[in-house]
Amino acid sequence: MSLKEQITEDMKAAMRAKDTERLGTIRLLLSAMKQKEVDERIELDDVAVVAIVDKLIKQRKDSIAAFEQAARQDLADKEKAEMSVLLAYLPARMSAEEVTAAVQAIVSALGAKGPGDMGKVMGAVKAQLAGKADMGQVSAAVKAALAG
């Protein structure tokens, strides 16, 4: 079963269970997926769905930080609940050591040296680690590998 089908099944299960918070979050995700399909006239595969989930999670993290700074814990809690539902659709994340090892391998394979090669390395790393690792963590690992 594809990730897209799994999300649709989860929406049906949330409807049957009358779990309105979970249902709303899943509908939001399905809406973002449908928007991408319509805009680009494509059928989403699991990699594209994971990218959308990743983007929505990043938005939730940004919103949580803003709400907590504004002392709106009620809204921050709502965003946290949505984020926990979305996290279920991501594959298992790589550890910091695994990310560093993968970045080192790509840097040596490309023969990259210095900060000037950051774009070239990030392009290769993104293709290989998309959805498997936090891109902020990956970016820091690339900077460290190219600096050293």
Residue 84 Rama label (left phi>0; alpha psi -120 to 50; beta): alpha
**Percent residues over pLDDT 70 in the chain:** 97
Q: Within 13 Å, how many C-alpha atoms sit on residue 28's CB side?
A: 17
Residue ranges, CATH 1.10.10.410, the chain: 96-147
Please report the pLDDT score of residue 11 as a whole number: 95
Higher pLDDT, 146 or 66: 66
Instruction: Determine the average pLDDT of the residues in 61-72.
Output: 95
- CATH says 96-147 is which class? mainly alpha
Residue ranges, CATH 1.10.1510.10, the chain: 3-87
d(CA 131, CA 25): 19
Q: What is the pLDDT of residues 8-54, one digit of tens each?
A: 999 999 999 999 999 999 999 999 999 999 999 999 888 888 889 98
Higher pLDDT, 148 or 116: 116
Kindly report the number of other CB atoms within 10 A of residue 97's CB atom. 8
d(CA 42, CA 40): 5
Record the pTM.
0.74
Output the CATH code of domain 3-87.
Answer: 1.10.1510.10
